[in-house]
Amino acid sequence: MEPVLLSSGLVVDFGHIRAVDGFDLSVGAGASVALVGRNGAGKSTTMRVLAGVLPPTAGTVTVRGVDARTDSAGVRALVGYCPDVGGLIPRATPWEHLQLSAKLRGIADGWQSRARELLEMFELDAAADRITAGFSHGMGRRLSVVLAVFHQPALLLLDEPFDGVDPLGVEATLRSVAAAREEGSAVLISTHLLDLAVQACEEAVVIKAGRVVGAAPANDLVGEAGRARYRALIT
């Protein structure tokens, strides 16, 4: 069966700096992969390319067979993306974000019930009409996850979704990831929180200097031995 996400020889250069250096990855339907690595390893840049926000310098990305180079909008229609920082229009409310997402994604009327359900699940229903500029960091993260899962994407990309989020928010995110996998979505989570990566994903891919340096079942990174293995890979 064709994987949902297929990235091959992905390269991203910023001037003379190579941020991503031949990134290869394949994620199948219903699978979840954690992208782990140190700060500056190239995780967020890779996620941005996979989300169709940043064009790659070289290499290919396909989502359900749609090539990001030739049909960027087609790929973006299949992807739900939670950016690493912010990711919210500062003076719009959560409800307005969902309204905008529904309109730009061409989702027919009736999306409101799912929107309400998600806001409730992430305990943002009371803040649905508040301007997001006044949100705490954790609230912003939770809303970004809501926006990423809202349209039940084929590929869910979550960049640091647990960063600064309280335990209830983490639980809601984990439940969303599980639900997305059940619906057949491929999930890729970039995080530096190894314990949560292990909880959310079945496989972990270690990235260093923009390239994959190791992959293992997520459970293999648990415990002292797992941590030692992880440290050996990232240093």
Partner 1 sequence: MTGGVRQLRALIWIRWRMIRSTGVRAGLLVSGVVVVALLVLMVQSAPLLSSPALVAAVALAPAAYLGFGVLAVVAPLTAGGGVDVVPASQLVAYPVRPATQFLGGLVLAPVNLVWIAQLLTLAAESTYLTVDGHRLSGGLVTTLFVMCVTVLGQAVAWSVVGLRQSQRGRRLVGVGGAAVLLCAFAVIRLDRTDEVVAHSPTALVVRAVGTRIDLGWITTVIVLAGLIAAGVTLGGRACAWALQRPADVGAPSLDRRVSRRRARPTAYAELVTTDRASVWRASALRRGGLVLLLLPGLMAIGAAISWESLAVLPGLVGAGAGLLFGVNAFSLDGSGAVWLASLPHDPLVGARAKVRVLAETVLAASVIAVVAGSLRSPGTPTATQVTAIVGSVLASCSLIVATCMAMSVRHPHRADLRGPRDAVAPPGALAAASARLALPAGVLGLGFAGMSASGIWWLPALLCVPVMVGAAIWLRRSLVRYGRPVVRAQVVATVSAG
Q: Which stretches of the chain bind partner 1, using CB under 8 A? A: 48, 51-55, 72-74, 76-77, 79, 81, 83, 85-93, 95-97, 99-106, 128-131, 133-134, 144, 147
Taking the least distance from each CB to partner 1, the nearer of 143 and 233 is 143
State in angstroms the smallest separation of the CB of 230 from partner 1.
28
Q: What string of DSSP letters covers 147-162? A: HHHTT--SEEEEESTT
Phi, psi dihedrals of residue 186, rounded to the nearest 5°: -90, 140
Which residues of 15-108 form beta strands (DSSP E)?
17-27, 32-36, 58-63, 66-67, 79-82
Taking the least distance from each CB to partner 1, the nearer of 153 and 226 is 153
- Cα-based distances in Å from 45 to 67, 88, 124, 135, 235: 18, 18, 28, 25, 20
Which residues are registered as beta bridge partners of 58?
A: 11
State in angstroms the smallest separation of the CB of 182 from partner 1.
23
State in angstroms the smallest separation of the CB of 93 from partner 1.
6
State in angstroms the smallest separation of the CB of 211 from partner 1.
21
Taking the least distance from each CB to partner 1, the nearer of 76 and 218 is 76
How far apart (Å, rounded) are the C-alpha atoms in residues 55 and 190? 19
Taking the least distance from each CB to partner 1, the nearer of 129 and 195 is 129
State in angstroms the smallest separation of the CB of 199 from partner 1.
25
State the chain's maximal CA–CA distance in angstroms: 51
Taking the least distance from each CB to partner 1, the nearer of 97 and 211 is 97
